[in-house]
Amino acid sequence: MVRGHGQKDSEPPTSDLFDAVKAAKSDMQSLVDEWLDSYKQDQDAGFLELINFFIRSCGCKGNVTSEMFKKMSNSEIIRHLTEQFNEDSGEYPLTAPGPSWKKFQGSFCEFVKTLVYQCQYSLLYDGFPMDNLISLLTGLSDSQVRAFRHTSTLAAMKLMTSLVKVALQLSLHKDNNQRQYEAERNKGPGHRAPERLESLLEKRKELQEHQEEIEGMMNALFRGVFVHRYRDILPEIRAICIEEIGSWMQSYSTSFLTDSYLKYIGWTLHDKHREVRLKCLKALKGLYGSRDLTARLELFTSRFKDRMVSMVMDREYDVAVEAVKLLILILKNMEGVLTDADCEGIYPVVYASNRALASAAGEFLYWKLFYPECETKMVSGRERRRSPRAQRTFFHLLLSFFVESELHNHAAYLVDSLWDCAGSQLKDWESLTSLLLEKDQNLDDVQESTLIEILVSSVRQASEGHPPVGRITGRKGLTPKERKIQADDKVKLTEHLIPLLPQLLAKFSADAEKVAPLLQLLNYFDLNIYCTRRLEKHLELFLQQLQEVVVKHAEPTVLEAGAHALYLLCNPEFTFFGRVDFARSQLMDLLSDRFQQELEELLQSSFLDEDEVYSLAATLKRLSAFYNAHDLTRWELYEPCFRLLRKAVDTGEVPHQVMLPALTLVYFSILWTLTHLSGSGASQKQLLSLKDRMVAFCELCQSCLSDVASEIQEQAFVLLSDLLLIFSPQMIVGGRDFLRPLVFFPEATLQSELASFLMDHVFIQPGELGSGHSQEDHLQIEQLHQRRRLLAGFCKLLLYGVLEMDAASDVFKHYNKFYGDYGDIIKETLTRARQIDRSHCSRILLLSLKQLYTELLQEQGPQGLNELPAFSEMRDLARRFALSFGPQQLQNRDLVVTLHKEGIKFSLSESPPTGSSGQPPNLAFLELLAEFSPRLLHQDKQLLLSYLEKCLQRVSQAPDCPWGPVTTYCHSLSPVENTVEANPQGYPRSKKRRTEGPSRQQREDISSSQEESLQLNSIPPTPTLTSTAIKRRQPLGGLEEMEEGSPEPELVQSSQPLSGNQRSRLSSPQHFRTLLNRSGPGLGNRLTRLSLMEEDEEIQSELSEEWQDTDKHSSSSEHGLDLLDSTEMNLEDDDLLKR
């Protein structure tokens, strides 16, 4: 280190720069000026103050004294400071939380920038302060202490950035000096001033010397810090380096915008950390955004273009957004670089779920396909109104892209992606409607449907101001300006479309696919404009077209859209309500009369042709769709529909397509009647009449559960589930006790049939799903959604107490096997059930395992049961159940102990055949029970071993032939399995650095139960402030973050499997006392044991009675079942329950 000379010895000053920068209250320039004044008075003291500022900014409380400064080298000083550094905390000023540290990094960078700026005409070329500071920062940047490395790298890079700006100024001064010198020299002999030429030469020489010094400092910082730290293991350090080199290239492109510097950004594009990749892309955006700089990027682009294009599919959305924006700049400023193949990889992103990414891809699509053809000319600096021809070209291109690309089925997402960059074109509803209403439009059927969808999507986007369903925005709401634009657009689109909507409906009335979205346009109108603009005649035309559409079509989408459109207009607050209500009555009269006439024909005739059946079904569908949105009680549709359904159930002569809407009609009739009676003025007679109707309909639906047609069964199940939930005890909550007569409790037979239906229609193995694009795949997906709806309805009945909670075992036992299809529903049901009654929920989990085990035992027999694949699936299910208890051992202690005891009783509930040395048939259940052992505390394991010992004493067992399930279970309860009890609360424990780890074979021998227990503990934090310096040059691929720490040596050693002799001794009843004594004496242990042993004696007496009569054995929890223990379920539905 170069030392100052001629200065007196001094200690570090008490006034610290660090406190001033941290407070950020004073002006940074005045702070630097004060330091400069103190430095000029005493170089060593001033420089020591600067050094100690950087040391304290690293979080180190040590100081560099004048004696250390004189006698020690940089490496010795850093070593000394490292020894004084407090490594217990991972926080330092750049990462410390709290408001006082929030702005420290900005103040710190501002100080470095101001320091260089104030010194650029004086101390910067002194040689002493800057050279020594750069030397110190270089040494600190290679430190093993992360705080030193991070802070010094930030300081060095900001110092380099400031030096680059000084170098740029020097370059400009040199160019200016050169021009002045040339101008002076080119003057005539009489006008030339030799003194002027000489002074310019002197100035030129001085500038050259300064530039060489600056370049030397920059070279030292680049080679000493950047080259090593741009691949540091800490992503924050890598991000700093990339961000700063990007700024160097933009500000001083003549020196830094070369391939020798660009390669560092190119290499780091592959970084695995999001923030680093983001900095790379932002740096490149600054370069590609200037046409002047793109000429120097051709080689870089050819080398790294593929990587930049692939980053569009980055797993981090913000990185992918920046990648697309970068490609937009390349598209604009480097023509022909992006090939069609490159662009085709970006087009599908317009349908991404993240709106920012989709919007960026939409902008790319706009500049690539639409802008060249629809470019707007500028007139007098203003944008001229786009010509109708340009607008038509835009929509034709949009149609071509959507239809021909075949990337998606819904144009709403494409419209939303283009909204930010092409919103004005998309809101040109005049051009859209003129295209649709033209006679010679040259559009095929698919293009017409797509154009209508684009119209509806643009109207919805303008009216509601939010993206379509499923697209994530990340914004909370609209700004006042956006709300004003939204309100104006809503008025404009309403005024334009109200007169044209009847014309559009008239033109496309025969096509259901086009009429349904057109009817949806009414959702986005400002309907008051019908009154304020005197547009009632257009309302009349719309109502006429609506009636024609309803009478003409029977498709659910059209009918639902029409019913909802009429519902929007039937608002009593509108002045035109009377007209709309009259039109509605006319339509309902027409449909009701037609239904009564067709129903009489059906009831009186013994045979109906297909046309009559279709007409009746269509009429019922229309009435059902309107009954959903409108109160049709005065048309008295309940009685005729119920008669129709009664005949269908009794005779089976009614076609299925007629039954489906009839069921829905009766259901809506009951709900509308309930709505009328929900007021406090309902009489007892009215309530009982509704109750009779509801019960009769439930019985009818129960009969339909055994129908031949699956769609009838599923519809009956859905309606039953809804009605049972509505008329459950929940309906009297909230001061509605007067509705108590309506409360309905399903009988056991109905509960049993609902459970049987669930087994037959939900827990079935579907066929293999293909790529998802074929018609069969779409059908399978729809069927899966339907099955999920059925399961959700059943689970709601369980959670609201309509069905017995024990019936949940039918659902829980399929948790693992159908996890991919219904895992989220079953998990939520399990969570809610545990919130309702934790103890009952744990018994249901055990019951689920018992049922599966009993079914497998009846099918396969007791021999080799635990070797079957089905048993392995049960073991996985038990492990998943065990994990659902979570890490709160103390909270779940009683539940888990009870579960183990009940499981032991079940495994020994049947004795082996008399005179046989074989094991009890249920003994293999202990292997399933072993999966719950990691949830136990150490003392409970000891008590359960004692309990098992007493239970086994009742069983005759050959001493030389141990039972495998007993061995497995005992091993799970033995002290070697004690992997969680040391930390019962689930708090993370600090890791210990190991010196000798177990061999690979030993690690593989750790049992599955131990692995599960290890998963309960939180992952301890990475040791702080450990060495991450890269001492040797490594390839970029080695930049993966490393986690230090390993399992504790004691834990690994205790996880060794037992030898054969040990297992034999352990499995014998004589060995249990030896195991129990291992834990050692302890008052708490003895008290716990005494408190539980009394329960053991009571259970033991119960067991003795069970052994006396083996024909009457059963588990106590099994006696509580009322629907799964029936003979019909056991004999007929075993296969279904097992699936």
The residue behind tokens 């129960």 is 702
Beta bridge partners of 992: 1046
Q: Is the dihedral of CA 776, 778, 783, 788 positive or negative?
A: positive
The pLDDT score that the predictor gives to residue 546 is: 95
| Residue 973 within a domain | no
Residue 758 has pLDDT above 80, yes or no: yes
**236 is written with which tokens?**
């924050």
Residue 378 has pLDDT above 50, yes or no: no
Residue 692 has pLDDT above 60, yes or no: yes
Span of 308-312, 604-608, 1101-1105 with lowest mean pLDDT: 1101-1105
> Of 703, 731, 755, which residue is a domain's last?
755
Category of 920 on φ-ψ map: left (φ > 0), alpha (ψ -120 to 50) or beta? beta
Average pLDDT over residues 709-736: 91
Select from 69, 4, 149 the least CA-distant residue to 1029.
Answer: 149
Both 565 and 634 in a single domain?
Answer: no
The pTM (predicted TM-score) of the whole model is: 0.75
Residue 367 has pLDDT above 70, yes or no: yes
Secondary structure of 860-925 as H, E, C letters: HCCCCHHHCHHHHHHHHHHHHHHHCCCCCCCCCHHHHHHHHHHHHHHHCCCCCCCCCCCCCCCCCH
| Residue 598 within a domain | yes
| Residue 131 within a domain | yes
Q: Which residue has the higher pLDDT, 89 or 335?
A: 335
**85 is written with which tokens?**
């550094």
Both 566 and 677 in a single domain?
Answer: no
Residue 1111 has pLDDT above 70, yes or no: no
| Residue 223 within a domain | yes
| Residue 694 within a domain | yes
Residue 354: φ, ψ to 5°: -80, 125
What does the DSSP 8-state code read for residue 354?
B
The pLDDT-based confidence of 515 (bands split at 50, 70, 90) is: very high
Both 500 and 637 in a single domain?
Answer: no
Both 613 and 675 in a single domain?
Answer: yes
The pLDDT score that the predictor gives to residue 415 is: 95
> Residue 104 is which amino acid?
F
> Of 546, 574, 602, which residue is a domain's last?
574
Average pLDDT over residues 166-193: 82
The pLDDT score that the predictor gives to residue 1015 is: 33
**862 is written with which tokens?**
């007791």
Q: Give the domain range for residue 597.
A: 585-755
How many domains are contained in the chain?
3
The pLDDT score that the predictor gives to residue 180 is: 84
Both 91 and 152 in a single domain?
Answer: yes
Geometric angle at alpha carbon 951, from 946 and 957, rounded to 5°: 110
The pLDDT-based confidence of 12 (bands split at 50, 70, 90) is: very low
Burial class of residue 296 in the structure, from the number of CB atoms within 10 Å of its CB (0-12 exposed, 13-18 middle, 19+ buried): middle
Q: Measure Cα distances from 987 to 891, 984, 1021, 1055, 1139 in Å.
A: 14, 8, 12, 22, 39
Instruction: Supply the Cα-derived Rg of the chain in whole angstroms.
Output: 40
Both 641 and 733 in a single domain?
Answer: yes
Residue 236 has pLDDT above 60, yes or no: yes
Average pLDDT over residues 201-230: 91
Both 31 and 139 in a single domain?
Answer: yes
The pLDDT-based confidence of 1076 (bands split at 50, 70, 90) is: very low
> Residue 511 is which amino acid?
D
Both 662 and 560 in a single domain?
Answer: no
Select from 1006, 990, 1001 the least CA-distant residue to 1045.
Answer: 990
What's the number of CA atoms in the CB half-sphere (13 Å) around residue 766? Answer: 22
The pLDDT score that the predictor gives to residue 408 is: 82
Both 724 and 630 in a single domain?
Answer: yes
| Residue 824 within a domain | no
User: 458 with 521: CB under 8 angstroms?
Assistant: no
Span of 115-119, 242-246, 314-318, 1001-1005 with lowest mean pLDDT: 1001-1005
The pLDDT score that the predictor gives to residue 23 is: 83
d(Cα 786, Cα 108) in Å, to the nearest integer? Answer: 60
Highest mean pLDDT out of 512-526, 529-543, 964-978: 512-526
The pLDDT score that the predictor gives to residue 227 is: 94
pLDDT in tens, 149-163: 999 999 999 999 999
> Of 195, 229, 263, which residue is a domain's last?
229
Both 544 and 636 in a single domain?
Answer: no
Both 610 and 679 in a single domain?
Answer: yes
Both 67 and 27 in a single domain?
Answer: yes
| Residue 696 within a domain | yes
User: 528 with 539: CB under 8 angstroms?
Assistant: no
The pLDDT score that the predictor gives to residue 917 is: 58
d(Cα 279, Cα 754) in Å, to the nearest integer? Answer: 58
The pLDDT score that the predictor gives to residue 459 is: 96
What's the number of CA atoms in the CB half-sphere (13 Å) around residue 748? Answer: 8
The pLDDT-based confidence of 21 (bands split at 50, 70, 90) is: confident
Residue 1086 has pLDDT above 60, yes or no: no
Helices (H), 74-145: 74-84, 99-102, 104-119, 129-141
The pLDDT score that the predictor gives to residue 977 is: 40
| Residue 340 within a domain | no
pLDDT in tens, 449-495: 999 999 999 999 999 988 898 888 777 778 889 899 999 999 999 99
The pLDDT score that the predictor gives to residue 666 is: 96
Average pLDDT over residues 1080-1084: 35
The pLDDT score that the predictor gives to residue 1123 is: 27
pLDDT in tens, 1116-1137: 333 333 322 322 323 233 333 3
pLDDT in tens, 547-596: 999 999 999 999 999 999 999 999 999 999 999 999 999 999 999 999 99
Terminal-to-terminal C-alpha distance of the chain: 78
